[in-house]
Amino acid sequence: LNGNSLDEVLKKEALSDEDIVFLLGLTEPEDCKKLQEAAYKKTTELMGNKVYYRGLIEVSNVCTVDCRYCGIRKDNHGVHRYTLSKEEILEAAMFAAENGYGSICLQAGERNDPKFVSFISDCLREIHRKTVSESLPNSLGITLSLGDQTKEVYEEWAEASGNRQNLRYLARFESSNQELFDFLHNVLHKKSKQLEHRLQCLQWLKECGYQVGTGVMIGIPGQKLEDLCSDIRLYQKLEADMIGMGPYLMSEGGDLKSLGQTENKKLFQLSLNMIAVTRLVMGNINIAAATAMQVLDPQGRETAISYGANVVMPNLTPLQYREGYQLYDKKPGLKDDPETFGLKLEERIQSKGREVGWNLSGSSRKWLNR
């Protein structure tokens, strides 16, 4: 590292690719602690002490694409498919609004049919109408995570939300390494996600005024530290407002089982390092502590917060549907009751010296400063 020590690297204003790879590869507990402290300090300095809740509503597990890593991919016929009703979505959204969550995230498998598109528009209009008519405090932030769509669809949903000031979209590009991306998505094989198209979608979302979130999976078989460094460089290039990333975890219903999965402890530390380095490089953006972190360590989400995350996504999907939305094996929270979970999580967040941003939609500061 050109003779620079860890302390010197952590003091730098701008990290080189070499620095990033070095930081991502840290494994000694003392070194990791230094990285953690630097990222935590930067987070609280730039973003304040609050951690924001996004109530996650898993709208549907019906999917028309076949991402090889994913438990709800189209060709996994072992999954019972569901779509929540408009009433169920509204009830979950209103629970979030009334309980001070400040924002929600509607996520689903990928579908482009006009019926689904107008169903989402209807839900968005209704959520807006209800939050306004019930004069709920502050406007509810809405994140959509519904995959690749046309620019017209993104525009339709933005219009239907009635609230472009608090509108976000999350679409991970999964990996910036073209070969790895193609391998993960069976690109030559079937209808599948294309990296170039996903990046085009992120651009359209920006043009439609969304706060744009993206991210990758960490520890994909065959992925190198240099690939993760390129992922961070792509976050910069895209000027992302939010990053939601987490470890790649094996899925019984996926198509990559034979490749195995990185050992838990190693994968956990790598994921934490990735969060910390993303914070150091990207500055005042929102970074989510992924639910998947909790699979690797019982304190996964809180630890991610201590490494630079400032958003968590408590699950508000009605309990009877959760079994059907298992993107990876051993997904936690299948029985977490929304009635009590938000408060329990608050205690865990406080244990890391942070507080919950109750009733705040928690917009990306990078976006607000534009």
Contacts with ligand SAM, residue ranges (CB under 6 A): 69-70, 107, 109-110, 145, 147, 171-172, 174, 217, 246, 248-249, 251, 254, 292, 327-328
Residue closer to ligand SAM by CB (options 57, 70) is 70
Residue closer to ligand SAM by CB (options 193, 354) is 193
Is 249 marked as binding a ligand? yes
* Alpha-carbon span 110 to 63, nearest angstrom: 5
Is 229 marked as binding a ligand? no
Is 70 marked as binding a ligand? yes
Residue closer to ligand SAM by CB (options 131, 315) is 315
Give the type of residue at 91.
E
Residue closer to ligand SAM by CB (options 246, 362) is 246
Residue closer to ligand SAM by CB (options 6, 70) is 70
- Tell me how far, at minimum, the Cβ of 107 lies from ligand SAM, in Å: 5
- Which ranges constitute the DSSP H helices of 239-361? 264-282, 293-296, 300-306, 338-350
Q: Is 318 helix (H, G, I), strand (E, B) or coil?
A: coil
DSSP 176: S
- Tell me how far, at minimum, the Cβ of 116 lies from ligand SAM, in Å: 12
Is 354 marked as binding a ligand? no
Q: Which long-range contacts (CB under 8 A, 24 or more apart) does 185-193 make?
A: 185/65, 185/66, 185/67, 185/68, 186/66, 186/68, 186/255, 189/66, 190/66, 191/64, 191/65, 191/66, 192/65, 192/66, 192/67, 193/65, 193/67, 193/110, 193/147, 193/148
Residue closer to ligand SAM by CB (options 24, 245) is 245
* Alpha-carbon span 203 to 75, nearest angstrom: 29
- Tell me how far, at minimum, the Cβ of 18 lies from ligand SAM, in Å: 27
- Tell me how far, at minimum, the Cβ of 146 lies from ligand SAM, in Å: 6
Instruction: Kindly state the helix (H) or strand (E) to which residue 287 belongs, with its residue range.
Output: strand 286-289
- Tell me how far, at minimum, the Cβ of 69 lies from ligand SAM, in Å: 4
Per-residue b/e over 135-144, b at no fewer than 16 CB within 10 Å?
A: ebeebbbbbb
- DSSP letters of 108-168? E-----HHHHHHHHHHHHHHHHHHHHTT-SSPPEEEEE-----HHHHHHHHHHHT-GGGEE
Give the type of residue at 299.
Q
Residue closer to ligand SAM by CB (options 71, 357) is 71
Nearest to 58 by CA among 93, 108, 124: 108
- Tell me how far, at minimum, the Cβ of 217 lies from ligand SAM, in Å: 5
- Tell me how far, at minimum, the Cβ of 73 lies from ligand SAM, in Å: 8
CB-side neighbour CA atoms (13 Å) of 70: 23
Binding-site residue ranges for [4Fe-4S] cluster: 63, 67, 70
Residues making up the binding site = 63, 67, 70, 179, 198, 249
Q: Which residues are annotated as a binding site for S-adenosyl-L-methionine?
A: 179, 198, 249
